[in-house]
Chains A and B, each alone.
Chain A
Amino acid sequence: MMKHVWTRPLLAGVLCLLGASAFAQQTVPANTPAAAPAAQAPAAPAAQAPAAPVAQAPAALPPGSPLIGRPDNNPAAAKLAPVPAPPLAAAADKIPLDKLKAPKGFTLELYASGMPNARSLAISDKGTVFVGSRLQDKVYAITNKDGKRQVHVLVSGLYRPNGVAFKDGTLYIAELSQISKIEHVDDKIDTSPKPTVIYSDLPKDEAHGWKFMAIGPDNKLYLEVGQPGNNVLHDKDHGQLRRINLDGSGAEVVAFGVRHSVGFDWNPKSKELYFTDNGRDWLSEDLPNDKLNRVTKVGQDFGEPYCHQGNIPDNEFGWGHSCSEFVPPVGLMGPHAAALGMRFYTGTTFPAEYRDQIFVARHGSWNRTNKFGGDIALVKLNKDGTVKSVEPFITGFLENNNYIGRPVDVMNMPDGSMLISDDWNGAVYRLSYGPSKTAGR
């Protein structure tokens, strides 16, 4: 239990009394701040009635609005809006771990809790797990010393620091519009290190501006610059995956036509980049699907906003284009599913059928009456790297059409287990095969 510590000296109390009397002398009754003209007017039109008819047509919504494309006067659609994440982390004993279901033989435990809005994951060579956040201003560090696990706030005061990546002692952090680094981060866990900015040639849009980031087999930082809105014709600086060198130089677009990718990884065999991409809102309840894409050549275009899920031309921007101009997805991840973090399983402790297959955190839909997703999906691949199947693997985050947790990212651990982050509960879980060996809490 934290104590409330107040350090103001007594002098302030004296000031207080002075202030109060000065205030009392200056207080005079006054009208409302903006004095209204004398005219006695009838009451305003009843606010209860939804959008009373007014001659003026609604203004264009701001390009970043999640309401763009919402049909007017449809009561079912009017109920749908992005689901706000709880601002506080759930207490460890309130996390609904017993409601999450993994296939037989797998064990799911609480790895760490108390990290509000826990998002992307990275791990250092010393085993420290870094956790980014989107709605908080923090990057957390989970240390493991002598079997004792501890959560630290590594850095505060960041702006939407969703992305984290680690290489050779250095942690890289992706905020909304800049990339920074902390060298020798493992030696600085409790020293409030100040990140050094290495790259800031990025737009500042809020919509789809938060970033996933990872380091590729070519030792470059890969990051996303999302489309700045639900469905917008974006300029050349948006709607793409970029890569930069570890010092921030040499920026290059890797993939175009990306709407909003919050997860990617490289196929351990082919070294090809796979990324999830969130499909647009408000097209319909069931379409389009989120996508799993594969980059086979740098600079490929994946179609947004002209073509969705490989075969649906956009009703607004698709005119004059054909879906055949763009690279189709290798897999469909479900309608509005919010397929986010994804990694190939590279450990050896899960049964062999899971090796080099993809685990995808589906955060779950908001733009759908019956929510979809809210699970960890398993994507099985054919030998040629195309998708064989997409199946729910860990379920239970969704209960009676309400979220009790929302997975964001998955990550391989050196011991062959996987970590899963949950921004709803502010927690990280550990998925292992076989009976539990380490106590989760």
Chain B
Amino acid sequence: MAKSSGRGRCAALGFFVTGRMRPARQSAVALVFGCLVALPTAAQTVQERLPICLACHGEKGQSTLPDVPSLGGQQAFYVTVQLLMFRERMRVADPMNDMAKGLTDDDLRSFADIFVKQPPPQPDAGAVDDARMQRAQALVVQNRCNFCHTPSFAGQDNVPRIADQREDYLVKALRGYKDNSRHGYDASMADVMAPITDEQILDLAYYIARVK
């Protein structure tokens, strides 16, 4: 297999994108994403590609980028399904469709096996709005999120781990299911989200990002 010529630059990029950011993040992220898509220039092995994944999804799968999910401890089945859906454009989300282009079935499995072995994300250490947590927990019970995602929100099979996922990504994902811009592998989330308001989405994401 040919070697990647973009690998060194990717590692450097990983350095730049580490750390929290807020202002002007959208344009910055757009540029970084454009960059990442551009990087791979030749056939690469999974290990050669991994730094490109981690540049956005974070060291050990702990994302520090807005709207980019942490993948540490993610269910292997779920990761495989999502990569497949990116590759086949059944789920459209830049830059992942380009990133997954040309991956073999075995590549998909290998990436999934790598991320499942990384540590799961940790709850945010900052102060917590207790009233909001309680309000959201009632919503969780009311909407039975724990039925499929399990009581610890670690997920199972094609149901993802959501515990302590990035709050902004959770909001984005829930909104995507709600307005049907994101298709699931099956229809469970679209169905579940039908009665949920945007205000409730914000509370749910707040809670799940901090669940202990």
Contact = CB atoms under 8 A, between A and B. Distances in A.
Interface of A: 1-6, 8, 12-13, 15-24, 26-34, 36-52, 54-59, 61-67, 78, 81-82, 84, 86-89, 116, 135-138, 156-157, 206-207, 209
Given A31-B20, A65-B188, 20 more contacts: A1-B104, A2-B102, A4-B44, A5-B101, A19-B31, A27-B21, A29-B21, A34-B167, A34-B168, A41-B129, A44-B212, A50-B146, A50-B151, A56-B142, A63-B191, A81-B147, A82-B186, A87-B185, A116-B84, A206-B187
Interface residues of B, number: 86
B187 A29 contact: no
B31 to A, nearest CB: 3
B122 to A, nearest CB: 12
Interface string B47-61: 000000000000000
B13 A16 contact: yes
Nearest to A158: B90
A40 B129 CA distance: 8
B84 A88 contact: yes
Contacts of B101: 4-5
B22 to A, nearest CB: 4
A295 B105 CA distance: 44
A20 B138 contact: no
A30 B20 contact: yes
15 contacts: A6-B42, A6-B102, A8-B40, A12-B38, A17-B9, A20-B32, A22-B28, A29-B20, A29-B21, A31-B22, A33-B168, A50-B146, A58-B144, A87-B185, A209-B187
Interface string B34-78: 111111111110000000000000000000001000000000010
A20 B126 contact: no
Interface in B119-166: 124, 126-130, 133-134, 137-138, 141-144, 146-148, 151-153, 157-158, 163, 166
A36 B126 contact: yes
Contacts of B13: 16, 20
A283 B81 CA distance: 31
Contact of A135 (B103, B185, B202): B185
A332 B12 CA distance: 65
A400 B126 CA distance: 47
User: A-B pairs with the 7 shortest C-beta distances?
Assistant: A12-B38, A206-B187, A41-B130, A19-B31, A16-B35, A30-B22, A4-B102
Nearest to B88: A137
Contact of A19 (B34, B133, B188): B34
Contact of A16 (B39, B42, B127, B192): B39
B38 A13 contact: yes
A65 B126 CA distance: 36
A49 B153 CA distance: 11
A20 B9 CA distance: 10
B174 interface: no
Given A19-B31, A20-B13, A45-B137, A30 B126 contact: no
B93 to A, nearest CB: 16
A59 B104 contact: no
A17 B36 CA distance: 10
Nearest to A16: B35
Contacts of A49: 151
B190 interface: yes
Given A1-B104, A33-B66, A54-B141, A40 B127 contact: yes
